[in-house]
Structure 1
Amino acid sequence: MRVKNFSLSFGLGVFKALSDEARVRILFLLYKQEEMCITDLEHILDFTQTKTSRHLRFLKNAGLVSSRKVDQFVYYRIKQQARDIIAQIFQYMNKDAVLLHDLETFHILYSNRELAIWKLHHQKKLYSS
């Protein structure tokens, strides 16, 4: 669903959400990765759990992100209604050094996670043989 127009209060919420560097960094990662766990955001951005939760709550209250809980993990994503607005904003910020560093950190952590999963899987095979 595309947003063709929105209310003043929604617009103010969007601009307030984008007025903080931490929230912009979180939104950029969510925009690039579709959905992320709060713990991944903490590690990538080197934020405390409290800071990450506070900013995600702000983004959620502004109507920009939604969440879902799976076991003890909470995953966040940009709401479909806000995706066009966010895409247009990041179209002009896609070469920012800080945002690109965050994305690179994500890729490093993700590749290490894949390596760790692979090692665990193969260790189980060795012990079960």
Structure 2
Amino acid sequence: MLPHQLFKLLSDETRLRCLLLIAQHKALCVCELTAALGESQPKISRHLAQLRQSGVVTDERRGQWVYYHLSPHLQPWQAKVIEQLHEADDLLANYQDDHQRLSNMADRPCP
């Protein structure tokens, strides 16, 4: 993947928010991302499919749940970009509500 392709993926707020949450929590399922972002399941699934097809995230089935996590095959520069985004406190403050909604989620599946 070329840099402009990664940045194009990250230019969508829903994909960025999904990626930040996945980076923070290591693995999340669609239902957790749906609750955290307050978006519909089809919308979240569509954005996760784009991230998966691009190789940024991978999925893993655990029983009835499919968990998404950062791909172990990211290029070093890709991992660094995502790491820098994840560590940017001022950026994360803008999405603090996502983390709060995830924390407050009832009946959260166990990873």
TM-score over 0.5 (shorter chain)? yes
- Structure 2: runs of 5+ lacking an equivalent: none
Alignment-mate amino acid for residue 15 of structure 1: F
Alpha-carbon distance, 1:89 to partner: 2.5
**Unmatched runs of 5 consecutive residues or more in structure 1:** 1-8, 115-129
Q: How many residues align?
A: 103
Is 1:39 the counterpart of 2:14? The answer is no
Normalising by structure 1, report the TM-score.
0.70
Alpha-carbon distance in structure 1 between the residues aligned to 2:94 and 2:59: 25
Aligned to 1:106: 102
**Greater CA radius of gyration, 1 or 2?**
1
* Contact 1:10–1:62 (CA under 8 A) maintained in structure 2: no
1:79 to 47, 71, 83: 71
Distance 1:49 1:113, change over 3 A: closer
Q: 1:95 aligns with which of 87, 90, 93?
A: 90
Structure 1: distance between partners of 2:94 and 2:84: 18
TM-score by length of 2: 0.81
Matching residue's letter, 1:102: D
CA RMSD of aligned residues (A): 1.8
Larger RCO of the pair (alpha carbons < 8 Å, separation 6+): 2
Q: Post-superposition shift, 1:46?
A: 1.1
Question: Contact conserved, 1:10 with 1:63, CA < 8 A, in 2?
Answer: no
Larger helix percent: 1
Give the fraction of aligned pairs with identical amino acids, expressed as a percent: 29
